[in-house]
Structure 1
Amino acid sequence: MSSSAAHPRLATAGPPRRRLRLSWGDERLRGIVWQVLVVGVVVSVFWWLWQNTVHNLEVRRIATGFGFLEREAGLPIGESLIPYNPTNSYLRALTVGVLNTLKVAIIGVVLATLLGTLVGIARLSNNWLLSKLAGFYVEVIRDLPLLLQLLFWYTILQGLPGPRQALTPVEGVYLSNRGMLLPFIEWNAAHWWSLAAMVLGIVLTRLYAREMRRRQYADGRPRKVWPAGLALILGLPLAVWAAFGAPFTPDIPALRGFNFRGGITVSPEFFALLIGLVTYTAGFIAEIVRAGILAVNTGQWEAAEALGLRRGEILKRIVLPQALRVIVPPMTSQYLNLTKNSSLAVAIGYQDIVSIANTTLNQTGQAIEGIAIIMLVYLTISLSISLFMNWYNARIALVER
């Protein structure tokens, strides 16, 4: 028996590490020297840029810092999710810009995902006309610059008739050059509590479904989840709403004078930006979905068809869950692109963070601080999207045993 077999630690130990030699012929020494030089050059460049910037600001007597955020903005903003008026500070104005950016990004991601998934599935349809129309949509929409599409949609919306001749596609819905008017309800505390009860019902339903699935794995007896889910997701919010007196006052838009009053208004700027971002991003998502579905082995389709399942059931229960492992990573890039592309809103007058920050730096002269705020906002949003999508991708990934 050899000595290595007699001593397991010696058998698993790697080769001895070479000592660092103070010679240019040593590869490790050369690597350390080059890394030190690169880091030194990068630090020197940044130090030079910083000193040059500080010197130029002092010569032009431009004050630095973020103290301007507490000053009165005097900046009119057309639409905001929180109360705002021009007498508020620049900080609140920038907060409104961040919320406007998040609003179009969140709604855009949801709608682009739905539209892109439908178009991607349509491209694989056995219906020749549907497949060709989906392919035509993808090829055209991806080849046109997004800025041109935004200007196109905004021009169309601006060309709609005025409020007195507004289009009425559905009763209570009006479409004019002032935007789209939709019926709404007068929101109060009861509706907030009902919304919270619905969120709680969704969480409890998921926990209940998980427990029922665990019991089914244990004894093989399937259990229905939908009755409890229906009671928790719909019954619980309705009970909370009724406990608060069941308030329901519809706010229907109506023409009064030269404009509409009541309801909820979707501005032409927001509407054009949303349509442009959704249709453009959906073209790329459609190709990602199509590639993910094609990545699933055709034997999965054949086996499911042999069991008598319909194509819709095969797609929903067998193919798409497997295709998600291919779809999610590139989909993350499209979500990031949609969020960053929303900065083009400044071209059609939608006041997002870029538009408000640009106006702020023009009024205050704090250009460096304004650009830094824009960079910080988009960096935070992008990192948040990446973290969430990476977490979701890890949950659906195959786990090796």
Structure 2
Amino acid sequence: MGYLPSFWERNIGNNGKTKYSPTIFQYKIESRLSANSGRQAKDSSRPSISPLTNLTTQEENRLKAKALRERSLALERASAENSTVRTPSGFIATSDISIAGQKRSHSSISTAAVPATSRDARQSTKDARADDTMPQAARKFRKYVDHDFSKMTDTKGGFLNAEDDPWNKALHAPKEGEKPAHMTLKEWERHQLLKGLRNRKEGPFEPGLSVLGKGNMKCRECGSLEIDFVWEEVFKCKVCNGCKEKFPEKYSLLTKTEAKEDYLITDPELKDGELLPHLNKPNPHKSHWHDMMLFLRYQVEEYAFNTKWGSAEALDAEFEKRETEKKKRKEEKFKSKLKDLKKKTRTEAYRRSLKGDGKGGKFGDAISNGKHEHEWGQTVENEDGISVKSCVECGMEVEELEF
């Protein structure tokens, strides 16, 4: 007998066979259909849920594992805040050294900021420009400026004027000594006057004299209070203007050339401000040349006599030695030039003087290394009565027979 639903009612008769009641069966069917229709109407109000697939299940499992992993790492970091993390080889973990098994953040391994738009990667955010993460140009192209030659002025000389080259600092630098545009002529003259007084420490910029006399500086020669404060600041020498004119052998100023030639001091020594202080003044020959370097005579002499050469006599001996060597080099150079000139103009005479017996010669004379031809003299009789003749040049004798 086949399977029957549980809601079917069975009656077992006398003969042991099952009998079904149709009335009860119809009632059960109707009640079950009404219950199913009510459940369907109730479920239709809720959204339908698609069944889980293998891909969805894998993604959920991955997210759960990731959350568990981050939670465990956070616990490990919290427990190891006071302890120093080291690599297996013993190095301490820093921004440059990473620990194996720990995941780094994206910001620590990213080499550039993400552009604001993907349409043009050259457009970067302000932070990216501030960090200078964009690719840099090569060294030889860093100062390259792209000019529009169609809008430039043809100067016929191969150079750019100030309008065509707005990035040139030399062309657009403010010129010194010219009145600015925002100042009037009277204000500019007053500014120049105050600038000169400030540099010379005169007028309102002259240091005041105290009535107590403790902090006053006095002249090293006469004890006057009116010293030259510029010299005191530059040379650290307290002297008044009267004593400067009275003792020129001590307080006269020497140029750089005079210090080099007269006291044999080198350029590095003269440029050392702590060793030999100097006063800068505009060049009187050309205004655009380098400023003059003026040195105080007694300071140069103290350094040359005491520190460098030991005494004035040693300096004079070194000066004489250098002058002698200079004169010798000059003579040798003159002789070498003269020798080259002789080689070019008097070749035969030069060869004759070199290969002869040192007595020199004249043009037309035979050179000693050339082929010798005998010039025989007259025939004479020697002591043995034999007729001989000898060469006039070499003195060779030969016998001569007469028939």
Identify the TM-score tier after normalising by the shorter chain: under 0.3
Structure with greater contact order relative to length (CA < 8 Å, sep ≥ 6): 1
- Higher-Rg structure is 2
| Structure showing the higher helix proportion among its residues | 1
TM-score normalized by the length of structure 2:
0.18
